[in-house]
Structure 1
Amino acid sequence: MGLMAARHFVLPERPEPGAVVCAAEEVHLERGGRVLLDSVSLELRAGEVLALLGPNGAGKSTLLSMLSGDATPDRGSVRFGDRPLADWSLTELSRRRSVLLQDNQLLFPFTVHQVVEMGRAPWRRTPLEDDDNFAISEAIDAADIAHLGSRRVPSLSGGERARAAFARVMAGRTGVLMLDEPTAALDLGHQEAVLSIARERARAGDAVLVVLHDLNLASAYADRIALLQEGRVAACDAPERVLTAETVSSVYRTPVEVIPHPVTGHGIVVPLRH
C-alpha cells in the first residue's frame, strides 16, 4: 500500500449505541403507475436489528434499496450518517454499509473463496487491508462454508450460494448490514445461524436491517419490526407490540393467533386453520 493512500485514509467513525445511522424521510416512489412506497419514514439505529416485514409487494425490498442507495425516491429524502445519502461516494458507502440483495445471482465460475474475498474490496489500499485474511476466514467459518472454499459457484445449491453471499457481506466488516431475505433459501439450522450472527453484530454496536418473510424469526431476533402494507408503514415498534393477532390478521388478510413461546416468551404467529 502506498504512503499517500495511507495518509488519506480515514477510518469510518463508529456511532454511539442508539444513534441513527440512516433514515428515510417521507420517501415516495412510483414505477409504471404503481406506488411502491407512499410517504415512508423510517430510522435505523446503531446496536439494533430492525426487521422489515409485510406481504408480497408491500415495499420491503424497495425500502431497503432506498436506504442502501441502490434506488432514489421520487420525493422525500434519505440520510446516511450526518448527511444526505447522495452526498456520499460509492467508495465511502461501501466502507460503511454492506448490502445483501434478494436477487443475488452469482453465476460466474468464481470459487466460493473468491466470492467471499470480494467483500474486502472496499479496503484495498487502506491500512485495513492487512485484516483481509482473518476477515475472510472468520466470515467463511461463520457461514459454515469452509468445506466449499474451492467449489465453483454454479455447482452450488441455492442454499450454499446464499451462504457464500452472506459470507461476502460479513467479510466487509462494515458497521451497517442491510440484508434482503438472507434466510429465504436456507434450512432451519442455517436460518437460525444467520440471524444469530445478525443479533451478535447488533450487540457489538452494528446496525442491522433485514427483510424477512418469517414472522416468527423476526419475533425472536429483532429489536424492532417495521410492518409494511401497500407501500406504507402500518406499524413500527418492538415485536410484541407489532405482532398482535389483530394487526397481523389485518395486514396479511388472513386470521392468525399469537401465542407465547413456552421457553423464551416470544410471540409465535400461527394461522387459524379450520
Structure 2
Amino acid sequence: MKLDIRNLEQSFGSLRVLDGVSATVEEGSLVGLVGPNGAGKTTLLRTITGGLSPDAGTVSAGDAAVHDLSSRAASRRIAVVPQETTISFDFTVRDVVEMGRHPHQARFGADPDPDIVTEAMERTEVAQFAERSITAVSGGERKRVLLARALAQDAPILLLDEPTAGLDVNHQIRTLDLVRDLVSEGRTALAAIHDLDLAARYCDALLVLSDGGVLAYGPPDQVLTTSTLREAFDARTAVSENPVTGSPAVTPLSERVDDRPETVHVLGGGGTAAPLVRRLADGGFRVTVGPVVAGDADHRAARALAADCVTAEPFAGVDGETFDAARALVADADTTVVASDALALGRNRELLTGRVLVAGDQTALDAPHAPAERVAAAVHEGEPSRPGAAGASTD
C-alpha cells in the first residue's frame, strides 16, 4: 500500500514544525527519515498516523485519506513503533503484543487470526519472555516488544520512530534485517533513523527534514552529500563508500574555525596517503593528492576529503599525462607531504620539488618555516608516537 504525503503543515502555537512536507513512499519500499533534532521527524510520523491533525495538507494510505478514517480503520492500514517505550501498567509481554490485534477484533468477537501474535513474537525474538511483565524487561527488549505489537497489527504500512535506539549492535542489525524482510514481503515502511550509516545501508531512499521542510529526497548515494549534510546538520563531514556494504558511509569531522590558506599536496601509494589526507583536511588545509591508484585506500580518502586528485588506473603505472597533472598540483601547492614509506613508490621522487615534508621516521625540520611547521603539526596530530618520528623539510 502506497503512503502519500502532500503539503503537510503543522504548527504548535506560533512555531511552524512542518512546512509544506510532501513525499511518496511506494509500496514495498523502506524510506529512512533523517534530520537533526527538532527537524520535525516525530511530528511528521504522528501526523501521518492521525495522532495529530494537520493545519493543512493530506496523508493518504492507499486510496483513503487517513484523517477521514476512524482510529480503528486507520490502525488497520498503519502500524507504529513509537520512540518512547515506557508502559506504566503491569501487562505481560504477550498482553502488549496482543494489543496489536485490537483493530481487527469485533467488540465482543474473537480474534480472527490468533496465531499472528505468536508469529510476531517469534520474529522479533521476544517469545522466550512472553509471560514476563513488560515493566521487568530492559528498554531494548521493550523496543522489540513494541515492534512485535506492530507486526501483530498486520497493517500494510509500518512507521518506526528510532527503531534501533537503545538496542545493541546485534539487535540493531537484526531489527533492520527484519524490517527489510517485511518490505520484501510487500509492506511499506517509513523509519526515522538516527544512524546515517545504517539508514544508508538499509533504506531504498532517504527523506531529509530540515527546519520543518524537505531538504532532499532520493537514493542514499544521491542524498548523503557533504553539502546536504552541512545544510541539514551544520556539520563538516566526509562521505565515502563503505568497502563492505557498498553503501555511503558518513564520517563527521572536527570543525575548524581557523582554516589554513595553504594548499598541501600529498604523495602516497599503497594506503600511505590516506591517514595524511585525513589529518591535513581535519587541520583545515586545502589538500590535493596524487598520483594514486583508482579504488585503493588513498583514492577513497582523496575522493572524500581532497579538493583535487590525480588518479592512475590499476596496474597501468604513471603515464606522462598523469605525471604532468600531478606535477602541476605539486607546483601549485605551498608544501608537499610524502610518507616515508612511499618515497620509493612509482615516480614520487621525481615529484619532490619545492617545500617537501617527509612524514615518518626522519629527522626534525632542517629549515623550519611557519607553513611547514603548521603542516607538520597537522600531519603528526593523532599519530602513534614512536622514537625518532618527526619530519624533514627541504627548500
Shorter-normalised TM-score: what interval? 0.7 to 0.9
Residue 170 (str. 1) matches residue 146 (str. 2): no
Q: Which of the residues 96, 103, 113 maps onto 1:115?
A: 96
Pair 1:262-2:243 in alignment: yes
1:144 is matched with 125
Letter in 1 for 2:22: S
2:210 to 215, 229, 247: 229
**Alignment check: 8 A CA contact 1:27 1:37 kept:** yes
What residue number does 1:213 align with? 194
1:69 pairs with 2:57: no
Q: Is 1:92 matched up with 2:73? A: yes
Does structure 2 conserve the Cα–Cα contact (< 8 Å) formed by 1:22 and 1:67?
Answer: no
Q: Does 1:132 align with 2:114?
A: yes
Mark the runs of 5 or more structure 2 residues left unpaired by the alignment: 255-281, 283-395
Rounded Cα–Cα distance in structure 2 between residues aligned with 1:207 and 1:70? 19
Offset, 1:159: 0.8
Q: Matched residue of 1:58: which SS?
A: coil
Larger displacement relative to structure 2 (229-238 or 111-120): 111-120
Question: Residue type matched to 1:193 in 2?
Answer: R
2:162 and 2:193 in contact (8 A); partners too: yes
Alignment partners' CA distance in 1, 2:112 and 2:57: 40
Amino acid paired to 1:194 = T
Count of residues in Structure 1 that have an aligned counterpart in Structure 2: 254
Larger RCO (CA within 8 A; separation ≥ 6):
1
The Cα offsets for residues 44-91 of structure 1, whole Å up to 9 and x where unpaired, read as: 211100111000000111111111111111122222222322221222
Q: Is the 8 A contact 2:29 2:189 kept in 1?
A: yes
Q: Which runs of 4+ in 1 moved over 4 A?
A: none
Whether the 8 Å CA contact 2:126–2:145 is kept in 1: the answer is: yes
Which of 158, 174, 180 aligns to 1:193? It is 174
Q: Does 1:160 align with 2:108?
A: no
* Structure 1: distance between partners of 2:250 and 2:234: 14
Structure 2: how far apart are the matches of 1:159 and 1:180?
14
Q: Residue 79 of structure 1 aligns with which residue?
A: 60
Q: SS of 1:161's equivalent?
A: helix
Q: Go from structure 1 to structure 2 and tell me whether the alpha carbon gap of 1:101 and 1:159 turns closer, same or farther (over 3 Å shift).
A: same
Deviation of 1:42 (Å): 1.4
Instruction: Tell me, yes or no, if the aligned pair for 2:3 and 2:27 is still in contact at 8 Å.
Output: no
Partners in 1 of 2:110 and 2:242 — Cα distance?
A: 43
Q: Which residue pairs with 2:39 in the alignment?
A: 58
- Say what the alpha-carbon RMSD is for the aligned residues: 1.7
The residue that corresponds to 1:183 in the other structure is 164
Q: Secondary structure at the match of 2:191?
A: strand
Q: 2:6 touches 2:21 (CA, 8 Å); kept in 1?
A: yes
Query: Deviations 1:116-158 (Å, cap 9, x if unpaired)?
Result: 111112222499934222x112211221112221111111211
Q: Is 1:220–1:266's contact at 8 Å kept on the other side of the alignment?
A: yes
Decide whether the 8 Å contact of 2:104 with 2:112 is kept in 1.
no
What residue number does 1:36 align with?
A: 17
Q: For residues 128 and 227 of structure 1, do their structure 2 counterparts lie closer, same or farther at Cα, with a shift above 3 Å needed?
A: farther
The equivalent residue for 1:9 is: none
How far apart, in 1, do the equivalents of 2:180 and 2:240 lie?
Answer: 23
- In structure 2, give the amino acid aligned to 1:38: D
Hey, what's the Cα distance between the residues in 1 that align with 2:65 and 2:113?
Answer: 30
Partners of 1:42 and 1:183 in 2: CA distance: 23
Query: Is 1:250 aligned to residue 254 of structure 2?
Result: no
Question: Residue by residue, what CA displacement relative to the aligned partner does 1:143-182 show, whole Å, maximum 9, x if unpaired?
Answer: 1112221111111211111111111111112111011111
Superposition TM-score, scaled by structure 1 size: 0.88
User: In the superposition, relative to structure 1, how do residues 128 and 261 fare at CA in structure 2: closer, same or farther (>3 Å)?
Assistant: farther
| Code of the aligned partner of 1:28 | E
Instruction: Give distance in 2, aligned partners of 1:47 and 1:22.
Output: 11
For 2:152 and 2:110, locate their aligned partners in 1 and report how far apart those are by CA, in whole Å: 12
Deviations 1:174-212 (A, max 9, x none): 111011111111111111111111111111111001111
Counterpart contact for 1:47–1:203, Cα < 8 Å: yes
Q: Is the 8 A contact 2:3 2:188 kept in 1?
A: no
Secondary structure, aligned partner of 1:120: helix
d(CA) in 2 for partners of 1:58 and 1:124?
37
| One-letter amino acid of the counterpart of residue 52, structure 2 | A
User: Corresponding residue for 2:270?
Assistant: none
Identify which range, 215-224 or 151-160, moves more after superposition.
151-160
